[in-house]
A and B are shown apart, each in its own frame.
Chain A
Amino acid sequence: MKKWLSIFLLVGLVAGVLSACSGNGGGETSGENGESGGEPSGEITVWGWNVAAESMELAVDGFKEQYPDVEVKVEDIGRLDVYEKLTVGLASGGNGLPDVVLVESDRLANYQEQFPDALTNLSEMGYDKHEDKFGEYKLSVTQNSDGDFFAAPWDIGPTGVFYRTDIFEEAGVNPEDIKTWDDYIEAGKTIKEKTGTNMVPVDIAKDDALYRMMLNQQGAYYYDEEGNIDVTSEESKKAFEVIKQLNNEELILNNDGWNGVVSATVNGEVATVPFGVWYTGTIMDQAPDQSGQWGVFQLPAFEEGGNRAANLGGSDLVIPSSSDNKNTAYAFVEYFTTEVDPQMKALEEKGIFPSLNSTYEEDFFNQESEFFSNQKIFKLFADEVSDIPVANYTSDYSRAFDTMSDTQASILLDGKDIETALQDAAEKLKSETDRKISE
């Protein structure tokens, strides 16, 4: 009987492994019909999450003014849940998918490469005419290697350093003097000495956001333009040298998860938080009584006069090929991403930053924000957009993300040598992804 048991277990395991591997196969698409031209009409379903879904909801009325015969149903689904459902739907050949899905920019390449035929080619539907309305960074994530749009660019996450004006004042540090990361570390030392406050919150073992911003700022990323593993680059070393130095000077507050970072922010445990523009909303929501105590400056550069622009976050819209109402789906995507009105609603009411260039001329960007010490913070972020370097996220983004968070922990917590740690990380990625290590 024991023999029987082991045979069955073996069969079960093999079957399990096999079916896990074949999961990505079926890219077969249906529903090519029903997209003959004409006025958009009928109902479409849209998936998004949280404030992004709410922004889409806000756009529905304006959209219906242009096309009275349409109905838009927005489903508000958790961010990671959207990916779960999208992956299952795409893997089963487009079953049960909606007409429009929101996807974060750094995850787009993953879907585009794994299911090449499953996303509608927007260029074929006429999106190319909007090409000059977006910055180079946004185009690089939404176009495939042939220069065709497979996603429509929507929001973007220009980065900045959010800082506590009162803490800086108490320590006698002028944020305008912080031009390079060396200045930043010096300022941090002064602040720690005078006020006892840490400089920056980092979720060391689970999130390498600071490292990613520094890579992007220098025009590098996990992978180079050819998709080769690039974590051993000069830029990568420089980034970790800064982070390690911050850690050595005890300026980093190690937080557990997103909640930890938020709680450190609102409790004044840190003097600065480098993040994407979307963090403005978080601060204003979670620390409503700290109005006037916050300000923003751009990421410090690596050398005097160097680039201070980077991106963190942002998302775009795709139309699954399985949609049986592509015409209306496209009309909605076009309206939602290229008209100024829905962009401004999303920004003013939900704090979501548009990537559509023409929006930056709106009055709103010249307004002073009372919460942020009357600084014109949105102008600062808008001016940054055109300087954001291109990043190649590739389909193996999340593997690199996990690996580099581990690497960050081994450097900061176990004191591993940077050079060795990055070399090990590159080797690990090489074995996981079959990609070459960049020379």
Chain B
Amino acid sequence: MRHNVSPFRKTLLYIFLFIGVIVSVFPFYWMFVGATNPSGEIFKVPPNFLPGDYGWENFKNLNENVGIVRVLGNSLFITLTFTVLSAIVCTAAGYAFAKFQFKGRNAIFFMLLVAIMIPYHVTLIPLFEIFSNVNWLNTFQAVILPQVAYPFAIFLMRQNMQAIPDSLLEAARVDGAGEFHIFFRIVLPVMRPALAAVAIFLFMFQWNNFIWPLVVLQSQDMYTLPVALSSLVGMSRIDYGQVMMGTTLSTLPIMIFFLLLQKQFISGILGGSVKE
């Protein structure tokens, strides 16, 4: 395949890729430019394409307005706790659905699939009432807990777990390994790429989660990043410099998290243990 590419096609390919890069990177660059300039600059014609020196000022205003440092801390705590908890629960559930025979397994699994289709509006009010009844409004656990068993993540893990050959698990059992031992020492290592994908997915879901935290968190010092940023957008006056600074800050953790987990994709592929 590689030696077939003619110089002409190669150039074409590079031009195409270059345009793709510009199109996908430019919004981020523009966001960065906006974050380092005063609000009025953003709408100027001709536009100013260079980063300014107003970044610190925007950050200070943003911190004064919504307490961005505290909010970032809240978001990180909620998202990381959620990701770890949910990854454990969903992996275990996926494993059970894929590799254990029990009564009603398929029925439960189909109910799970149905759950994916329920729009959040439907569960919003009952869920709110539940948390209000146990007096958990305005707490971190109220944001973290409802989605820990995340149907789509369970589904994803189950599909991946099915690829593990039963013979591998049986061999382990014959050798006297306990079920927990099998799960942690045999299943999880093979599942690293899938786990990484699910973790990124869960992280992004909770990091961007808006409507539920908005409804359940009551005071400003408990807000997560999307909720705090949303409060910057009022009726007629919006300080775009602050908004851009906020969005810049909100994209960084996702990038870092993705880069950290990226390695797992590759090492997971190399970690095959069975040939059939």
Contact = CB atoms under 8 A, between A and B. Distances in A.
A433 B80 CA distance: 45
A19 B128 CA distance: 14
A19 B137 contact: no
A91 B125 contact: yes
Given A96-B137, A285-B39, A50 B237 contact: yes
B147 interface: no
Interface stretch (B48-56, B112-120, B245-253, B259-267): B112-120
* Interface range, A side: 35 or more
B132 interface: yes
Contacts of B137: 95-96
Nearest to A286: B40
Contacts of A286: 39-40, 43
B232 interface: yes
A96 B218 contact: yes
A1 B106 contact: yes
Interface in A7-22: 8-9, 11-13, 15-16, 19-20
Contacts of B232: 50, 78
Given A51-B237, A81-B230, A8 B214 contact: no
Contacts, number: 122
A62 B128 CA distance: 36
Contacts of B110: 4-5, 8
Interface stretch (A169-177, A226-234, A261-269): A261-269
B3 interface: no
Does more than half of chain A's interface fall in helix, strand or loop, or is it mixed? helix
A393 B126 CA distance: 30
A95 to B, nearest CB: 4
Contacts of A19: 122, 126
A20 B121 contact: yes
Given A95-B137, A286-B40, A8 B111 contact: yes
B234 A79 contact: yes
B219 interface: yes
Contacts of B121: 20, 23
Contacts of A52: 234-235
Interface stretch (A158-166, A187-195, A276-284): A276-284
Contacts of A96: 128, 132, 137-138, 216, 218
B227 interface: yes
Given A8-B110, A50-B237, A282-B236, A95 B117 contact: no
B40 A281 contact: no
A67 B163 CA distance: 70
Interface residues of B, number: 44
A15 B233 CA distance: 35
A267 B41 CA distance: 11
B39 A16 contact: no
A279 B238 CA distance: 12
Interface in A247-274: 262-263, 266-267
A138 B272 CA distance: 72
A427 interface: no
Interface string B23-42: 00000000000000001100
B19 interface: no
A12 B237 contact: no
B129 interface: yes
A351 B66 CA distance: 21
B107 interface: yes
A49 B43 contact: no
A267 B44 CA distance: 6
Contacts of A49: 231, 234-235
Contacts of A51: 234-237
Q: Give the secondary structure class of B's interface.
A: helix
B211 interface: yes
A85 B220 contact: no
Contacts of B215: 84-85, 88
A79 B233 CA distance: 7
B214 A81 contact: yes
Nearest to A262: B43
A9 B235 contact: no
B129 A92 contact: yes
Interface in A362-380: none
A262 B235 CA distance: 12
Contacts of B119: 16
B5 interface: no
B107 A4 contact: yes
A400 to B, nearest CB: 20
Given A8-B114, A77-B231, A78-B231, A266 B237 contact: no
Contacts of B274: none
Contacts of A78: 230-234
Interface string B201-225: 0000000000100111011100000
B122 A20 contact: yes
A50 B238 CA distance: 8
B15 interface: no
A87 to B, nearest CB: 9
A76 interface: yes
Contacts of A91: 125
Nearest to A260: B43
Contact of B114 (A1, A12, A84, A285): A12
B45 interface: yes
B145 interface: no
Contacts of A406: none
A52 to B, nearest CB: 7
Point out which of A49, A77, A279, A289 has the most chain B C-beta atoms below 10 A from its C-beta: A77
Q: Which 8 A-B pairs have the closest CB atoms?
A: A50-B234, A12-B114, A95-B132, A78-B230, A263-B43, A92-B129, A8-B110, A267-B45
8 contacts: A9-B114, A49-B231, A50-B234, A77-B231, A78-B230, A91-B125, A92-B128, A286-B39
Given A8-B114, A278-B235, 11 more contacts: A15-B118, A16-B122, A78-B234, A79-B233, A81-B227, A85-B214, A91-B125, A95-B132, A267-B43, A278-B236, A281-B237
